[in-house]
Amino acid sequence: MIYPWQADDWNRLQQLRAHWPHALLLHGQAGIGKLDFARHLAKGLLCEAPQANGEPCGACAACNWFEQGNHPDYRIVVPEALAAELGATAADEGKPEKDDADDGSGKKTRTLSKEIKIEQVRALLDFSGIGSHRGGMRVVVLYPAEALNVAAANALLKTLEEPPAGVVFLVVSARIDRLLPTIVSRCRQWPMGTPSAQDATAWLKAQGADDAEALLAEAGGAPLAARALAHDENRTLRDWTLAQLAAGARCDAFACGETLQKLPVPLVIGWLQRWLYDLLAQRTAGRPRYFPQASSALARCAGEMNTDAFARFQRTVTRQRRVENHPLNARLVFEELFLGYRELFG
């Protein structure tokens, strides 16, 4: 399925159908439904009785196979960690070999990779090398392209430089600034817009969200990200953390370390970064972007903080963000960050 705000992109893309580009780069903000769009597009390209507007019929053999995740002319390439989330239908090809170490307790010690690895891209070569099973296109969805590691990106580039006949790549990215420029230039670029606040709010309300406006603000206007926030099991802790940040000089850094230590470091740093963004937005533009419901606390904190210290602290947080995927003692990281935050207020 596609989302209501994607209808225009869908219709305009169908005009390419007669001369479909061998690689299409769908890019735009995270959380606006690009992956769902790409999968629906793939289904439409593979459908053997598509409607006039390119919609898949939903009834032919190809559509059925696609739904069951076993269309022989379709591949989706995602990082292992994401494949686990998307379910077994996501990536059946190019799975890295099982190398899970056993730490003696029977628990797997290896965490699932967040990168797209070269083995996964190489497996596409085998897929591209054989002919189409159904006599139509073969379609590859690659998501998110910024997860390609260096070796995988170079392997993909080679494939795009000599595109195999009849194979269509749908490359999806929220961060084209992180892609190899040579990959970007090999693709037909297709920017996907963030829906209007009105459309996004209407959709989110129809999904049962009771505070659609606040959720959307926090998600930077991206509706799927907002829906994920609504179902976020960590929302209570998030609100608790925001209250700590709102306390400014009275933020209890040790309580933060204690209370948040079980949470992933990137998640908490994300909250902190959005709060810092809003402090600056409040100070310079007079209104926050992510947490409008906390505007009075933000205004108070922005008025009390030392701007030089703020710039230094932002650099510290950015540095921490860069090492966030490395194993760290979360409790110490949080204590240090929240102590640093408290110092902004003299």
DSSP H helices in 47-149: 61-68, 80-86, 118-129
Which is closer to Zn ion, CB of 61 or CB of 81? 61
Among the listed ranges 58-66, 205-213, 287-295, 315-323, the one in contact with Zn ion (CB under 5 A) is 58-66
Interaction of residue 30 with Zn ion, rule CB under 5 A: no
Rounded to a whole number of angstroms, the minimum distance from the CB of residue 50 to Zn ion is 6
Which is closer to Zn ion, CB of 59 or CB of 243? 59
Which is closer to Zn ion, CB of 66 or CB of 341? 66
* Binding-site size, Zn ion (CB under 5 A): 5
Among the listed ranges 52-60, 78-86, 252-260, 330-338, the one in contact with Zn ion (CB under 5 A) is 52-60
Interaction of residue 137 with Zn ion, rule CB under 5 A: no
Which is closer to Zn ion, CB of 60 or CB of 299? 60
Near Zn ion by CB under 5 A: residue from 14, 29, 30, 57: 57
Rounded to a whole number of angstroms, the minimum distance from the CB of residue 59 to Zn ion is 6
Cβ–Cβ under 8 Å, residues 40 and 56: yes
Rounded to a whole number of angstroms, the minimum distance from the CB of residue 53 to Zn ion is 13
Near Zn ion by CB under 5 A: residue from 26, 63, 124, 251: 63
Interaction of residue 47 with Zn ion, rule CB under 5 A: yes
Which is closer to Zn ion, CB of 57 or CB of 180? 57
DSSP H helices in the chain: 7-14, 34-46, 61-68, 80-86, 118-129, 150-161, 181-186, 197-206, 212-218, 223-230, 235-246, 253-260, 265-285, 295-304, 307-322, 330-343
Q: Scanning residues 163 to 222, which ones bind Zn ion (CB under 5 A)? A: none
Q: Could you count the other beta carbons within 10 Å of the beta carbon of residue 222?
A: 22
CA nearest neighbour of 221 among 34, 29, 7, 10: 29
Rounded to a whole number of angstroms, the minimum distance from the CB of residue 28 to Zn ion is 27
Among the listed ranges 27-35, 51-59, 123-131, 293-301, the one in contact with Zn ion (CB under 5 A) is 51-59
CA angle 59, 85, 54 (to 5 degrees): 30
Rounded to a whole number of angstroms, the minimum distance from the CB of residue 130 to Zn ion is 22
Which is closer to Zn ion, CB of 56 or CB of 79? 56
Rounded to a whole number of angstroms, the minimum distance from the CB of residue 55 to Zn ion is 9
CA nearest neighbour of 36 among 278, 300, 223: 223
Interaction of residue 60 with Zn ion, rule CB under 5 A: yes
Rounded to a whole number of angstroms, the minimum distance from the CB of residue 77 to Zn ion is 23
What DSSP character marks residue 109?
-
Which is closer to Zn ion, CB of 60 or CB of 237? 60
Residue 281 and residue 258: Cα distance in Å, rounded?
30
Give the three-class secondary structure for 246.
helix
CA nearest neighbour of 22 among 194, 171, 180, 233: 171
Q: What is the dihedral of CA 308, 253, 288, 197, to 10 degrees?
A: 140
Residue 300 and residue 283: Cα distance in Å, rounded?
10
Rounded to a whole number of angstroms, the minimum distance from the CB of residue 69 to Zn ion is 15
Which is closer to Zn ion, CB of 71 or CB of 274? 71
Strand partners, 170: 24, 141
Rounded to a whole number of angstroms, the minimum distance from the CB of residue 1 to Zn ion is 14
Q: Indicate the residue type of 299.
A: A
Interaction of residue 41 with Zn ion, rule CB under 5 A: no
Which is closer to Zn ion, CB of 53 or CB of 306? 53
Rounded to a whole number of angstroms, the minimum distance from the CB of residue 26 to Zn ion is 21
Which letter, b or e, does each residue of 124-159 get, where b requires 16 or more Cβ atoms within 10 Å of its Cβ? Answer: beebbeeeeebeeebbbbbbbbbbbbeebbebbeeb
CA nearest neighbour of 66 among 81, 84, 49: 49
Q: Which residues bind Zn ion (CB under 5 A)?
A: 47, 56-57, 60, 63
